[in-house]
């Protein structure tokens, strides 16, 4: 089943709003992700700098991995100290991985390295910073909270997009019903003309494009009505033009049938009259056929002697009836 114009407009509105909302939501989610990541990196770098500067107490040497963190460290943060040769000297929280970049940081220093690592089956964001006395400190925190925050944000964006799409679909349907109302009225008028052949149907008009279409259709109906009237008059005129010679021919034939004692001159005159009527009938039929094929054809204009027409008609009447007209 195909959708009407209203349904298509409604779906178009809903799709447009949904795509727009999802695009804006995706951009917002990406921007939030970057902002959260930047804030997390800044916080980890600041914490590592505080430990390196002595403003925050580092873990005690040889502290077991499973022991609780030092009071100076938050429970959600893991801290690990490396010696100058890259050996782990103490750890609070999860044991963090040590790779080439961390060994280089512990040995020679340089800019802190920040990256995402996997430890104890979880993803962590970790910063490694060189210590002034040699070695390095690693500070890491779980990305679960950030992932949960972004997941909630994406879910809300999806719900909002669906809600906006639904609202836009309903609004689009209402607007489509209002916009297409004149078009539906025009369609009903066309269907009525097709079913009833009534050319006097009231066609809705207006000033917009649909109104212009209605006015054009109304003019078309007017032209068809005038054409129908012309055809009706033509048929009436044709019936009259054909009836007159047929009546005359029938009268002459009846007269010839009854008048057995006619002399040759009278019989020849009657036959000539029948011939003239047949010629007139043939001419009338030809004119009717010409009008049927080209109703807009115009006849040749010229002067007509009314006296000759009347004289010819009187003579034909006298021949048929035998009565003299004065």
Q: Residue 61: what pLDDT?
A: 58
DSSP string, 218-259: HHHHHHHHHHHHHHHHHHHHHHHHHHHHHHHHHHHHHHHHH-
The verdict on residue 244 lying in a domain is: yes
Q: Residue 140: what pLDDT?
A: 92
Question: Is-above-0.85 flag for pTM?
Answer: no
> 14 and 156: one domain?
yes
pLDDT digits over 63-113, tens only? 444 444 444 444 578 898 999 888 888 888 888 999 988 898 888 888 899
The verdict on residue 205 lying in a domain is: no
Q: Which residue has the higher pLDDT, 290 or 80?
A: 80
Q: Residue 73: what pLDDT?
A: 43
Q: What residues make up the domain containing 247?
A: 222-297+305-321
> 159 and 261: one domain?
no
Q: Residue 65: what pLDDT?
A: 44
CATH number for position 279:
1.10.287
Q: Choose the most confident range, by mean pLDDT, from 7-16, 136-145, 261-270.
A: 136-145
Residue burial 285-315, b: 16+ Cβ < 10 Å; e: rest:
eeebeebeeeeeeeeeeeeeeeeeeeeeeee
> 12 and 117: one domain?
yes
The verdict on residue 188 lying in a domain is: no
> 234 and 105: one domain?
no
Q: Residue 254: what pLDDT?
A: 74
Mean predicted lDDT score pLDDT of the chain: 78
Choosing from 164, 193, 209, the residue where a domain stops is 164
Choosing from 144, 164, 184, the residue where a domain stops is 164
Q: Residue 128: what pLDDT?
A: 93
pLDDT digits over 243-266, tens only? 777 777 777 777 667 666 667 777
Please say whether the beta carbons of 23 and 114 come within 8 A: no
Q: Please state, for a pLDDT cut of 90, what percent of the chain lies above it.
A: 6
Q: Residue 63: what pLDDT?
A: 46
Closest CA relative to residue 48, chosen from 121, 117, 109, 120: 109
> 160 and 244: one domain?
no
The verdict on residue 83 lying in a domain is: yes
Q: Residue 71: what pLDDT?
A: 40
Domain tally, the chain: 2
Q: Which residue has the higher pLDDT, 268 or 104?
A: 104
Report residue 276's pLDDT band, with 50, 70 and 90 as the boundaries: confident
The verdict on residue 199 lying in a domain is: no
Closest CA relative to residue 128, chosen from 52, 227, 217: 52
Token pair 């009268």 in the structure block, residue: 251
66-70, 184-188, 273-277: range with lowest mean pLDDT = 66-70
Helix and strand numbers (H, E) in the chain are 7, 5
> 107 and 227: one domain?
no
Q: Which residue has the higher pLDDT, 234 or 65?
A: 234
């Amino acid at each position: 089943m195909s959708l009407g114009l209203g349904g298509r407009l409604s779906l178009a509105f809903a799709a447009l709003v949904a795509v727009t909302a999802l695009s804006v939501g995706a951009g917002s989610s990406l921007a939030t992700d970057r902002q959260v990541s930047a804030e997390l990196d800044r916080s980890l770098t600041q914490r590592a700098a505080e430990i390196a500067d002595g403003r925050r107490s580092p873990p005690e040497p040889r502290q077991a991995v499973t022991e609780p963190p030092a009071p100076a460290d938050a429970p959600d943060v893991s801290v690990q100290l490396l010696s100058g040769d890259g050996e782990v000297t103490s750890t609070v929280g999860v044991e963090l991985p040590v790779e080439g970049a961390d060994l280089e940081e512990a040995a020679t220093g340089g800019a802190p390295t920040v990256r995402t690592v996997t430890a104890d089956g979880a993803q962590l964001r970790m910063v490694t910073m060189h210590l002034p006395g040699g070695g390095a400190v690693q500070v890491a925190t779980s990305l679960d909270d950030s992932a949960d925050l972004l997941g909630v944000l994406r879910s809300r964006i999806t719900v909002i997009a669906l809600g906006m799409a639904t609202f836009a679909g309903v609004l689009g349907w209402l607007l489509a019903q209002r916009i297409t109302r004149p078009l539906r009225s025009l369609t009903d008028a066309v269907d009525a003309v097709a079913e009833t052949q009534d050319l006097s149907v009231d066609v809705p008009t207006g000033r917009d494009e649909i109104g212009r279409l209605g006015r054009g259709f109304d003019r078309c109906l007017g032209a068809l009505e005038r054409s129908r009237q012309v055809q009706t008059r033509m048929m009436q005129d044709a019936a009259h033009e054909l009836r007159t010679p047929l009546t005359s021919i029938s009268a002459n034939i009846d007269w010839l049938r009854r008048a057995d004692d006619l002399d040759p001159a009278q019989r020849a005159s009657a036959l000539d009259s029948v011939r003239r009527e047949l010629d007139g009938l043939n001419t009338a039929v030809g004119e009717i056929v010409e009008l049927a094929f080209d109703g807009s054809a115009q006849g040749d204009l010229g002067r007509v002697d009314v006296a000759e027409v009347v004289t010819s008609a009187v003579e034909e009447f006298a021949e048929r009836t035998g009565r003299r007209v004065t």
